[in-house]
Structure 1
Amino acid sequence: MIELLVESVRINLKTQQRVVVLKALDQERYIFIWIAHAEAYAIAVHLQKTSSPRPLTHDVMKNLIESMGGRVLRVTISDLVDEIFYSQIALDVEGKEIEVDARPSDAIALAVRVNSPIFVAEQVMERCGIDPKNTTSASSAESEKAEQRQADVDTDVVGAEATDVTMLKERLSQVEDELRKAQARLAELESQ
């Protein structure tokens, strides 16, 4: 097993798909897992050390496990079948280890909340891991897919940041406009 760190959550501007980027702890190898918006948000919120006004699904999962006396031991990305990743969450419940099948995105969102390690099976890393310096470790077809995934992510990182800034500026403009309208309405009510 190879231990991973969550490096980042990114967006592909062409497709609006989100990807979680996992980096091998002691190597320059990466795995990209395409995930849904909700799970991307849940992971990003925690990585940015912010919070949601109400508990997100993964916060509820964490609270349920802990309130029943359990703890998350590890998350393992164990297989890749037809470009679908499979993972398990290993729990300690009353001294007994239990493995629960989970989507990697959910397992990762939980792992970052409880600071549990994330592992990938060596055969999965061999099949889809990306080494920016050397992509020859994967088969030719898998190497091409890995290079395309890397290119999709790399070309969109700067654009994603610019899009975030643009969206924030647009939202700020909307809020300022709403504030002006509210102030005008307040002045109108006060004059009556």
Structure 2
Amino acid sequence: MKEVELKILDMSSVLKPSDSFALVLEEVGGEERKLALIIGAVEAQGIKMAEMHYRPPRPFTHDLLLNVMAVGRLQCLKGVIYQVKNGIYSTYLYIRRADGEVDVVDARTSDAIVLSLRAGFPLYVYEDILEKEHLRNISSDGSSYTMSINSVDIDMLKRAMDEAVQCEDYERASQLRDEIRKRENEENNKN
């Protein structure tokens, strides 16, 4: 599967008074397609600290992990976003051991981004995911855009449905209701 390199473009708060943030990643070169990930305040803080190259007085979890990897002579080669499901992005880290073998480790995408910023390895996404999930209808100033419904979790869908009902946009509300029911049925069928 083709991998497309990504870089951080922007991060902003999205839901008030919620503590959610939209992290926008952009394709390096090419068409400059963008992905938006919804992350929490703690994850946003970790990414912002890594972007600023802030070193806390004592190691935070990401620093601890990188220190342990250095002692064990492990090197992260790259991170690859391999899946998006119900608003959750999943990433593999490719780790080279001291003997040269490469292992693949599953990681939260926000953790992979912080580690990438701290350790300097590239972050990629599979081409088909980028094509399916990239932001559309971006305004000229970048302040508004359309996200794929797959990029949003059920709680956010429920809030959007409530907002659509309040605005009397019943067609949109029914579409969101159907998506919520579909996901809840899928979840119930797993159990």
Structures share fold, TM-score greater than 0.5: yes
How many residues end up aligned between the 2 structures? 140
Q: Which digits, 9 at most, give the CA deviation of each residue in 1:52-91, with x for residues without a partner?
A: 2221111111111111001110000001122221111110
- TM-superposed CA distance for 1:50, in Å, is 2.2
The within-5 A match list for 1:18-97 is 18-26=21-29, 27-94=31-98, 95-97=100-102
Q: TM-score, normalised by structure 2?
A: 0.66
CA shift for structure 1 position 8: 2.9
Q: Is the 8 A contact 2:135 2:147 kept in 1?
A: no
Q: Deviations over 1:143-179 (max 9, x none)?
A: 95349x9xxxxxxxxxxxxxxxxxxxxxxxxxxxxxx
> How far apart, CA to CA, are the structure 2 residues paired with 1:53 and 1:131?
41
The 2-side partners of 1:132 and 1:54 are apart by: 43
Q: Tell me, which stretches of 5 or more residues in structure 2 are unaligned?
A: 140-144, 152-191
Cα RMSD (Å) of the superposition?
2.2
SS state at 1:145 partner? coil
Preserved contact between residue 11 and residue 23 of structure 2 (Cα < 8 Å): yes
- 1:11-53 deviation digits (Å, cap 9, x = unpaired): 2252320222211001321111111222211110111232222
Structure 2 residue aligned with 1:2: 4
Larger radius of gyration: 1
Q: Percent sequence identity over matched residues?
A: 26
Counterpart position of 1:174: none
Runs of 4 or more above 6 Å deviation: none
**How far apart are 1:7 and its partner, in Å?**
2.0
Alpha-carbon distance between aligned partners in 1 of 2:94 and 2:119, rounded to the nearest angstrom: 12
Matches within 5 A, 1:25-174: 25-26=28-29, 27-94=31-98, 95-130=100-135, 144-146=146-148
One-letter code aligned to 2:82: S
- Describe the SS at the equivalent of 2:130: helix
Contact (CA 8 Å) 1:78, 1:124: kept in 2 or not?
yes
